[in-house]
Structure 1
């Protein structure tokens, strides 16, 4: 073997152009189409969000495309610039200004799933605003892009998934490196390295270099002795697929323990996708029966604060679902994001405004927020339909802001007014009753 090089092989053999990049054909096509839309000046979305397991080549693909199209890369890690002030000071100038040479640039932001909407003081919102004003392509990467906090970034980005690499492709890359480095390697040893790294090319190359530079060869015995299985997080799609295909209890439990989503969220994913994956009615019945039992145990755990029940929850959503597939033949399907979680994310702002209004009403009326929400707000809505000016006066006296008033009144009021629909006598009677109730409570409060 030639003299040892201390350059990391993961850097030395990083693809310089797209043709050097192996596998991920679908991701390459989507990203190339998007970059070409920037070249024409007509991008449908100004940012792309690339996601997939660690080590599949998200950053390498961006660098290969940048090299081929002549883009300069401004690379940052979201974990280093977590706050709004950091992003506006460091990233915003690069995204909104051109270079002195006129060279085009790509803004690459790694690990955006490391940001927290609550702890990082506006970091996600600042990135969202940055996307709307950028003059250059913004590419973000994430291992898990499905956290609720990242919804606003998903909505404005082209979503590009990179999957785990196939064994043949990883072995091909590792074998090419061995040939270039003039290192004797056994094909079975390379397969072991791939298997223990679960498709993570970066870790596979690092392990290959470690063995080759230490022993001058890569054999089956050395790979078995020196390469260890790594604990990895599994995205929700792979978690579901593992649960539905597991033949043994330990397989589905292991998938849950390594999943990127918690058991509560996983229940929502399973509820949405059981009817898609299981086609036989008996299998669907058994799966939902296991899921309902998991929900019961979850409720008992929260009510009693006895977290021993968590083991039963995992048994139901893991082995319980896996063993319910008795007649259905497994087929590859596209799993759907839970509609309930999506809806909760979309209505979060409205719920926050409604809670804010309820708290203001409760303070003025000397009642609980739940009472304000269940009694006073419906009465205000009813009053607005019969006596708009009086209802507005009351809401202003409660110190409610315009956006809170809009949430209280809802969209149905505006729709009925614009369409000119009249309320039937029963509705008018209910509205009048609600109006009288609000006025009575107001008088009581003043006394």
Structure 2
């Protein structure tokens, strides 16, 4: 039996269903990548079944690229990635002048603890590549992917709208000679939740051995338990109409509740234009923060449901004015944490050295010794350097303390 996914697979990028803007943006980037000085890699992101991998595969076939495809979540060693993709990326063409395209799928499936060296290997491939490198992920905002994000152009793929899915399913039924009730197709599309691939599979299974599909034949179709990236989660949260719908958002989220709280905090002023709605939403979020704080301090996890209730249903229900469609912003706190990661690492290493040498706790070293050490280093470089040598601090640590890194001249 031929799968309909293959039978009705598009042959050109213009035939890809949904996400037309994303497909065109990808095609434009590849064209420029071959000629101009643009970012060497593209990161396609979005929920499953919306055409990310399909776009790359169809584009390669249509325009004659040799496609080197690798599922990053299945690769467990740096050597494997470099052997398969690294060698291919270092050469832009193969014998006969055929263009090459390197595609690493599901990079968010990499586990840094188990797959050591994979992320640096991908970064190395991007930096040294002579051909376009394409990456795909469901959740591009995973912290482990930040070094990769900075090297890529980000192309977002959204869930495919139900009317678009229904139209395509109708066309399949027409070609297969199947009579189907509109209500049945509507239910299949709703259960697919923007995943065209799942909708096509469901339709083929449901119509196997049938020439007529009724609503009663599909009513048993279960809803898929999916998890979504932060943009889809925020959109569903802010447009929730009931407390239950708002609470269920957490079950679909790929990010933890603390990170989601930061995203909500950052985007409330963009979503709510009415001042009273904004005040009320921040009041609910502050109550959630109080419960999170008490829970973390006392380790009383019975408080978690109350915190989540305030953070979700409390924030979005009871607003006077409907939320606005906006481009959600990345939390500034997370950006600041990311930018200061190296400074915090140097500070912590300095505190560890102080704690060990002075036989103090890290807290006491931070509050009672560290401030004076910075003053000494800034005001008297000679004494500061001698203390640094006693603590076995590097030049980076001394520079962080305010000491000029050039050694003083001998007199």
Compute the TM-score of the two structures, normalised by the length of structure 1.
0.85
Q: 1:380 to 1:206 in 2, by over 3 A?
A: same
- 1:130 equivalent to 2:125? Answer yes
Task: Point out the more displaced range, 99-108 or 288-297.
Answer: 99-108
Compute the TM-score of the two structures, normalised by the length of structure 2.
0.93
Q: 1:300 to 1:64 in 2, by over 3 A?
A: same
- 1:391 equivalent to 2:384? Answer yes
Gaps of 5+ in 1: 1-5, 415-447
- 1:354 equivalent to 2:347? Answer yes
3-state SS in 2 of match to 1:328: coil
2:34 to 39, 43, 50: 39
2: CA distance, partners of 1:408 / 1:370: 18
The alignment of Structure 1 onto Structure 2 pairs a total of residues equal to 404
**Mapping for residues 278-297 of structure 1, pairs under 5 Å:** 278-297=272-291
2:16 to 21, 24, 37: 21
Partner residue in 2 for 1:157: 152
Partner residue in 2 for 1:431: none
Quote the offset at 1:43 in angstroms: 3.8
Partner residue in 2 for 1:311: 305
Per-residue CA deviation, residues 153-208 of structure 1 (Å, 9 max, x unaligned), is: 11111000011111222122212222333333333322211011111000001011
RMSD of aligned residue pairs (Cα, Å): 1.9
Partner residue in 2 for 1:427: none
2: CA distance, partners of 1:384 / 1:88: 45
2: CA distance, partners of 1:111 / 1:157: 15
2:356 to 352, 360, 363: 363
3-state SS in 1 of match to 2:219: helix
- 1:223 equivalent to 2:218? Answer yes
1:274 to 262, 268, 272: 268
Q: 1:116 to 1:374 in 2, by over 3 A?
A: farther
2: CA distance, partners of 1:75 / 1:213: 32
1:343 to 336, 347, 354: 336
Report if aligned partners of 1:301, 1:310 keep a CA contact under 8 Å in 2. yes
Per-residue CA deviation, residues 244-267 of structure 1 (Å, 9 max, x unaligned), is: 222211010111221122211111
Partner residue in 2 for 1:323: 317
2: CA distance, partners of 1:247 / 1:345: 35
Quote the offset at 1:409 in angstroms: 2.9
Partner residue in 2 for 1:168: 163
2:249 to 219, 244, 255: 255
- 1:73 equivalent to 2:59? Answer no
2: CA distance, partners of 1:82 / 1:328: 50
1: CA distance, partners of 2:402 / 2:387: 13
1: CA distance, partners of 2:337 / 2:111: 17
Report if aligned partners of 1:275, 1:284 keep a CA contact under 8 Å in 2. yes
Which structure has more helix as a fraction of its residues? 1
2: CA distance, partners of 1:167 / 1:273: 27
1: CA distance, partners of 2:335 / 2:111: 18
- 1:382 equivalent to 2:375? Answer yes
2: CA distance, partners of 1:191 / 1:354: 58
**Mapping for residues 393-412 of structure 1, pairs under 5 Å:** 393-409=386-402
Q: 1:130 to 1:372 in 2, by over 3 A?
A: farther
Quote the offset at 1:275 in angstroms: 1.1
**Mapping for residues 38-57 of structure 1, pairs under 5 Å:** 38-40=33-35, 42-57=36-51
Quote the offset at 1:49 in angstroms: 0.7
1: CA distance, partners of 2:213 / 2:336: 52
Quote the offset at 1:75 in angstroms: 0.9
Per-residue CA deviation, residues 357-376 of structure 1 (Å, 9 max, x unaligned), is: 22123222222233333444
Report if aligned partners of 1:211, 1:217 keep a CA contact under 8 Å in 2. no
Q: 1:290 to 1:352 in 2, by over 3 A?
A: same
3-state SS in 2 of match to 1:215: coil
3-state SS in 2 of match to 1:79: helix
Q: 1:377 to 1:288 in 2, by over 3 A?
A: same
Query: Of the two, which has the highest radius of gyration?
Result: 1
